[in-house]
Amino acid sequence: MALAAITEPDRPWTRRAFSPRFLEGRAWLRQQFVDAGMSVRLDASANLIARLEGRVKDAPPIMLGSHSDTVPSGGRFDGTAGIVAALEAVRALRASGHPFRHPIEIVDFLAEEPSEYGLSCVGSRAMVGELAPAMLAYTNAQGETLSDAIIRVGGDPSAIATLPKPIIAGYLELHIEQGVVLERNSLDLGIVSGIAGITRVEIVWKGAADHAGSTPMAYRRDASLAAAEMVLLVDRYARGFADRNEGHFVATVGVLEISPNAANVVPGGARMIVDIRAERVALVDEYVALLDRESTAIEARANVGRERFAVLSRNPPAPCDTHLRDLLDRSAAKLGYSSTMLASGAGHDAAFISHIGPSAMLFIPCRGGKSHTPEEWSEPHQLAIGAATLYETIRLLDGQNI
Amino acid sequence: MALAAITEPDRPWTRRAFSPRFLEGRAWLRQQFVDAGMSVRLDASANLIARLEGRVKDAPPIMLGSHSDTVPSGGRFDGTAGIVAALEAVRALRASGHPFRHPIEIVDFLAEEPSEYGLSCVGSRAMVGELAPAMLAYTNAQGETLSDAIIRVGGDPSAIATLPKPIIAGYLELHIEQGVVLERNSLDLGIVSGIAGITRVEIVWKGAADHAGSTPMAYRRDASLAAAEMVLLVDRYARGFADRNEGHFVATVGVLEISPNAANVVPGGARMIVDIRAERVALVDEYVALLDRESTAIEARANVGRERFAVLSRNPPAPCDTHLRDLLDRSAAKLGYSSTMLASGAGHDAAFISHIGPSAMLFIPCRGGKSHTPEEWSEPHQLAIGAATLYETIRLLDGQNI
């Protein structure tokens, strides 16, 4: 709550990456890390990294993390929960008196949320060598490059390309679920099976924008009819794919626009973006092919042209490490917490960190599944259960019980 | 074309009511009327009225008219065609040497197009006593009242309420069809059966704006699904009603908006406006009741709430006078022009004038049915056919052939 209070005063809870508030939040975090006996540094891409040394020289660190930036008018838990739960776990580890074999690192990844520079997961991309030079040239509305913004918050973009990828014992990220599965099923924890890949398809329909009063029904080429058919098909097929139980599968028409969108004009155009999230690439391929086929059939049926059918983006899924998942599972069971395995439909820094080492995620419930809104909420005991499980998992990963 | 050339130079063809261009256009028109031997006046609601006296004292005038204002980036024919065809008919009447029994009036009605003050058909409403004082208080974006705007263009709003309604022998308005029926059937003229009533219904759906990645299909309350079902039903039922051949019937979902309209959020809300045009009130009532029933059924089926189902406006149809229709028909036949009877799906000043006397409309084809766009076009010979038929009809109405 203390970190959340560092917000733009007129629109809580806002702490945008690269903003003065963001730096205030990091200054506060840095102090907490220091008070917990950790050393703190910024890496070349301005990830804030706190470290507690272990007793085995040169052992790879157990990495914990999440992000302290927020979306505009966002919540107090998305990202922050993962950082403070990790901090609490480290405090408890120190208090336990057990000297750890591995160093423990807590990373506040830079700009996980979609930033003003048109990119999300800036810090985790950079850490795993996937922040391309072209991305560093992205600009915000004021024309500042991402590269200059990183310098402004203490990074050194020129060093990013040659940075060695860290070697880690494992990466663990606690996060609020941003969904309702745990709440509806009264479960304490979600052990994340994997982070779904996100594929976005844009479909554009073109008909004729005729006068709504004077154009007889039989003469129309109404693009909204094709779009409406497609909206229903996207949903119906997605339900079928989800029911196959081949991992998480959802599809959504989140963007739907008709033009000219005037009461007295037959819609001459319609545009939609289909967002598809799945744990298996094969399912996505099959689903996109199905939409392609069906939209061609609609074109003929509705007497409108399918002007565009384009895959806008296609991020692969990132399965969570099975060993880490097993440790999370054992920890939850040992502590008597109920849990289920579930996929993350949203993207996270863990998806990028999985490219350099074993990574896993732990979800805690959030009220009504709400996230990215001021109402975002998890109860203190839900956070405590998550932190305790994280603590126990770190102990297992470090080999404390061997 | 000379009148059309009086346009905002950067966005042809724009001559918005109350603008300096509009007054320029009227000054040009006034000169044409004077050159044709007509006297010109402005009435209290700033309708520009040109008059050619007849030989029978106190005979009610034969009124011709349309409007010289345009929509933004509109066309060169919508409105203007009716004014200039009437002017040409009057010139020909004078040239014929036949002294007319009735006076002939040509009215350039004020602000037929939806104006900046949120009202259309301002002048024709006023002439028939249907411009309510509340409407005179409507304001534009700059806060000017419609009343003040009418004063600015030469009217006297304080006199509108007590104005006697004119007594007329009949009202004839030539207009471009704004549809494709004449063009597709290679017809010269449309004799308008009536001006369809316009009913607008707003339907708002409310579901839950959940995360598109983390909300399983089975947990969703997607408002876009209800909207999509409704879009398809509006169209399907409208086709059925049109096929009954009980006059013109069309229905359109011209406005469709989902919220928050973001690729990664399940649509939590959807809003649509259904535009219904029909010549028979009974059909509209039956259709709206059907939409009401079906949308309630969808509510249950799609697991979303129907938050609003509201009739926003309900303008009754205005049948054209059967005697005038017959005169138009006889004139077209006499001159050897092909014609059909068809309804006007769009609103016109004639709908209001029909409240005070016999009114009828004559349509000429326009290319591709396009209107309210810069591409709006009718060929010179199509305009000439319309003007000739108008001329002949005025002669019949005046009793010239008796």
A218 and B224 within 8 Å at the Cβ level: the answer is no
Among A183, A188, A179, A195, smallest CA distance to A371 is for A179
| More confidently predicted of A97 and A102 | A102
Contacting residues for B220 by C-beta, under 8 A, at least 6 apart: B207, B208, B210, B266, B303
SS3 B292: helix
**Cβ neighbours of B275 in A, within 8 Å:** 212-213, 263-264
Tens digit of pLDDT for each residue in A295-330?
999 998 889 999 999 999 898 999 999 999 999 999
Rounded to whole angstroms, the Cα distance separating A63 from A390 reads 12
Residue reference for tokens 């914990």: A64
- List all residues of chain B from 180 to 209 with a beta carbon under 8 Å from chain A: 180-181, 184, 196, 198, 200
The pLDDT profile of chain B, 402 residues, written as one tens digit per residue, is 999 999 999 999 999 999 999 999 999 999 999 999 999 999 999 999 999 999 998 899 999 999 999 999 888 999 999 999 999 999 999 999 888 999 999 999 999 998 999 899 999 999 999 999 999 999 999 999 999 999 999 999 999 999 899 999 999 999 999 999 999 999 999 999 999 999 999 999 999 998 999 999 999 999 999 999 999 999 999 999 999 999 999 999 999 999 999 888 999 999 999 999 999 999 999 999 999 999 999 998 889 999 999 999 899 999 999 999 999 999 999 999 999 999 999 999 999 999 999 999 999 999 999 998 899 999 999 999 999 999 999 999 998 654
- Mean of the per-residue pLDDT values for chain A? 95
**DSSP category for residue B164:** P
Three-state DSSP at A145 gives strand
Residue of B nearest to A272 (CA): B263
Q: Report the alpha-carbon distance of residue A49 to residue A46 in Å, rounded.
A: 9
Provide the residue type at A84 as one letter.
V
Q: What is the pLDDT of residue A108?
A: 98
Q: Does B233 touch chain A (CB under 8 A)?
A: no
In a mutational test of the B interface, the residue from A184, A211, A233, A371 whose CB has the highest number of chain B CBs within 10 Å is A211
Cross-chain residue pair A250–B212, CB shorter than 8 Å: yes
Token pair recorded at residue B52: 């050619």
Spatial separation of the C-alpha atoms in residues A110 and B15, rounded to whole Å:
54
Q: Report, as an integer, the average pLDDT of A88-100.
A: 92
Contacts of B69 (CB under 8 A, 6+ apart): B15, B16, B17, B22, B79, B110, B111, B112, B113, B115
Q: How far A79 CA sits from the closest chain B CA (Å)?
A: 16
Nearby residues of B186 by Cβ (< 8 Å), 6 or more positions away: B338
A contact residues 313-372, partner B, Cβ 8 Å cutoff: 344-347, 369, 371-372
| pLDDT tens string A5-39 | 999 999 999 999 999 999 999 999 999 999 999 99
Q: Do A222 and B232 make contact, defined as CB atoms within 8 angstroms?
A: no
Q: Sorting pLDDT into bands at 50, 70 and 90, what band is A401?
A: low
Q: B181 contacts in A (CB within 8 Å)?
A: 214, 216, 219
Does the beta-carbon distance from B228 to A225 stay under 8 Å?
no
- Evaluate if residue A400 carries a pLDDT over 70: no
Q: Which residue in the set B211, B263, B277 is minimally distant from A213, CB to CB?
A: B277
Look up residue A80 and give its two tokens.
């922050």
Q: What is the DSSP string of B62-125?
A: EEEEE-----TT--SSTTHHHHHHHHHHHHHHHHH----SS-EEEEE-TT-S--TTS-S-HHHH
Distance separating alpha carbons of residues B198 and B93, to the nearest angstrom: 36
- Does the structure show a pLDDT above 50 at A402? no
Q: What is the rounded CA–CA span in Å between residue B169 and residue B159?
A: 24
Q: Is A216 on the interface with B (CB under 8 A)?
A: yes
Taking an 8 Å cut-off on Cβ atoms, the answer to whether B372 and A215 are in contact is: no
| Contact across the interface for A238 and B232, Cβ inside 8 Å | no
**CA distances (Å), origin B360, targets B197, B321, B322, B335, B385:** 15, 6, 8, 19, 17
Q: How many CA atoms lie within 13 A of B3 on its CB side?
A: 27
Query: Tokens representing B21?
Result: 């261009």
Q: A109-120 pLDDT, tens per residue?
A: 999 998 999 899
Lookup: tokens for B137 = 């208080």
Contact between B371 and A263 using a beta-carbon 8 Å cutoff: no
Angle at Cα A354 formed by Cα A62 and Cα A186, nearest 5°? Answer: 80
Which chain A residue has its CA at the smallest distance from B222's CA?
Answer: A252
Q: Is B161 on the interface with A (CB under 8 A)?
A: no
Output the CA angle B88-B182-B275, nearest 5 degrees.
Answer: 105
The H helix count followed by the E strand count for chain B is 11, 13
pLDDT in tens, A190-228: 999 999 999 999 999 999 998 999 999 999 999 999 999
Please give the residue of chain A at the shortest CA–CA distance from B209: A370
Give B225's contacts in chain A (Cβ within 8 Å).
231-232, 235
CA quadruple A222, A223, A229, A231: dihedral sign: negative
Angle formed at CA B132 by CA B142 and CA A264, multiple of 5 degrees: 70
Taking an 8 Å cut-off on Cβ atoms, the answer to whether B267 and A256 are in contact is yes
Complex ipTM: 0.87
pLDDT digits (tens, 9 = 90+) for A221-252: 999 999 999 999 999 999 999 999 999 999 99
